[in-house]
């Protein structure tokens, strides 16, 4: 069986990746010992399929996981929810920076397992075209992607990046909610063997619409500035 490692298994997307584990062996990464019971409860995995990354055994666990290439799905790295510092909503840059350093160290451990590693980063369309109130979040997404890319290149792995818009449950909701990608659909794409190793893909109709609208808005502002 192939091997899938999930960083961020407590997120709804991470749980969807774990749930879509047909023909693959899954290892969920708990960031510290206190996270292990929560990951087991949230994902339904056996405790043996959850690793406490802070214990220093992540590389050894990945080295013996399944067969063939390792697919590392990064479902959470950096701030998870958009925040607008200018609106008075609290952001803690130092805490975010420390968390990113910690998680990148875990990524390094996976990349150092001595096997071929295919990294799939679940980013956000906001990284490609942030609005004025999403620059902090979008900036982190861009930085995380670049830092991951540097590490992957050093280890000879590959990095694919998916840029969804808003995510929705697989069922229910208003008809127009179908413009958004579903958690389950994005999870299937993240673990799909046919996903190109270095793909860069906007996921969901809403993400494509967002890019078009932002491009038109930027073009109009540029024309206005040139006339001025």
Question: CB-based contacts of 226: which residues, under 8 Å, 6+ apart?
Answer: none
pTM here is 0.89
Confidence of residue 220 (pLDDT cuts 50, 70, 90): confident
Q: For residue 221, give the DSSP letter.
A: H
Question: CB-based contacts of 180: which residues, under 8 Å, 6+ apart?
Answer: 164, 165, 166, 167, 168, 204, 205, 206
Considering the chain, what is the average pLDDT of its residues? 89
Confidence of residue 84 (pLDDT cuts 50, 70, 90): low
Q: Is 204 exposed, middle or buried (0-12, 13-18, 19+ CB in 10 A)?
A: buried
Total domain count, the chain: 1
More confident residue, 82 or 195: 195
Range of the domain at 199: 2-227
pLDDT in tens, 130-158: 888 888 999 999 999 999 999 999 999 99
pLDDT at site 171: 66
CA atoms of 96 and 141, how far apart (whole Å): 12
Token pair listed for 114: 């001595």
Q: Is 23 left (phi over 0), alpha (psi -120 to 50) or beta?
A: left
The stretches of 69-204 forming alpha helices (DSSP H) are: 93-111, 135-155, 183-191
Q: State the helix-helix crossing angle for 93-111 and 135-155, rounded to 10 degrees.
A: 20
CATH number at residue 159: 3.40.50.720
Token pair listed for 181: 């990608």
pLDDT reading at 38 higher than 90: yes
pLDDT at site 4: 96
pLDDT in tens, 39-73: 999 999 999 999 999 999 999 999 999 999 999 99
């Amino acid at each position: 069986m192939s091997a899938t490692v999930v960083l961020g298994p407590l997120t709804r997307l991470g749980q969807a990746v774990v749930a879509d584990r047909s023909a693959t062996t899954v290892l969920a990464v708990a960031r510290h010992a206190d996270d292990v019971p929560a990951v087991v409860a949230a994902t339904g995995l056996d405790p043996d399929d959850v690793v406490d990354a802070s214990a220093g055994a992540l590389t050894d666990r990945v080295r013996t996981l399944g067969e063939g290439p390792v697919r590392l799905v990064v479902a959470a790295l950096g701030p998870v929810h958009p925040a607008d510092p200018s609106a008075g909503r609290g952001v803690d840059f130092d805490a975010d920076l420390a968390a990113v350093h910690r998680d990148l160290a875990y990524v390094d451990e996976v990349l150092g397992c001595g096997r071929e590693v295919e990294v799939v980063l679940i980013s956000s369309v906001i990284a490609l075209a942030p609005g004025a109130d999403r620059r902090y979040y979008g900036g982190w997404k861009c930085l995380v992607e670049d830092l991951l890319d540097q590490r992957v290149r050093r280890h000879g792995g590959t990095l694919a990046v998916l840029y969804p818009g808003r995510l929705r449950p697989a069922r229910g909701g208003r008809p127009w909610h179908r413009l958004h990608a579903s958690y389950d659909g994005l999870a299937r794409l993240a673990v799909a063997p046919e996903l190109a190793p270095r793909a860069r893909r906007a996921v969901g109709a809403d993400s494509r619409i967002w890019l078009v609208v932002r491009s038109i808005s930027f073009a109009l502002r540029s024309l206005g500035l040139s006339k001025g």
